[in-house]
Amino acid sequence: MAPNTDTILIIFVAIVGVLALLQALVLLGIFLSLRKAAKSAMVATDDFKATVMPTIHSTRDLIERVSPQIVTISKGLAELTELLRKESRGVSVSASEIVERVNRQTKRLDGMLTNGLDAVERAGEVVETAVAAPIRQVNGIVAAVKAMVETYLSDTPRRRPTYPNADAEPGNPEI
């Protein structure tokens, strides 16, 4: 059994040697693929640096050049805003004063027009009373004269209406 054990041991060592060699080959393949991936990543990083870094530098330069101007503009806008706020308060006060004056003048004008129209109405009533009453009286006199003239100028005398009971009054008949 000893030779048999030696044979098994030799076969086992050979299998372990082959497996170790296979493992070394797999590790070599992983190493080569990682090296290739690292080179590819380096190339991509270099391309990224070549395209992005100039943009970053130019942006930084632009920000450094524009920063004082932005600060100046910000201060100017703040001053302008404050000035506009003060002016708007002044305009608001002026507008309220103008509206108040317009309201006073409107009330005054309304009072003047009301008084004037009331005076015209009273004058119209006085004229109507002074003129219309005599005209009505003259019209009444003219109508009376006209009726008398027509009565005297007519040919036939007017007859008194006859009722069945001549002795009875028209509104009170007797039986």
Per-residue pLDDT tens for 3-41?
688 899 999 999 999 999 999 999 999 999 999 999 999
Confidence check: pLDDT of 77 > 60: yes
Contact 165, 174 (CB under 8 A): yes
Give the per-residue pLDDT at 16: 96
- Region 89-116 average pLDDT: 88
Bridge partners of residue 169, in order along the sequence? 172
- Region 94-121 average pLDDT: 88
Q: Binning pLDDT at 50, 70 and 90, where does residue 153 land? A: confident
For residue 29, what is the enclosing H or E element? helix 2-153
Average pLDDT taken over every residue of the chain: 85
Considering the chain, what percentage of its residues have pLDDT values greater than 70?
86
- For residue 10 the two structure tokens come to 């030799």
How far is Cα 160 from Cα 175, in angstroms, rounded to an integer? 21
Q: Binning pLDDT at 50, 70 and 90, where does residue 59 land? A: confident
- Region 90-101 average pLDDT: 86
Contact 158, 147 (CB under 8 A): no
- Region 114-139 average pLDDT: 85
- For residue 104 the two structure tokens come to 């006073």
- Region 101-114 average pLDDT: 89
How far is Cα 46 from Cα 48, in angstroms, rounded to an integer? 5
- For residue 98 the two structure tokens come to 């103008």
Residues 111-134 as b/e (b if ≥16 CB within 10 A, e otherwise) read eeeeeeeeeeeeeeeeeeeeeeee
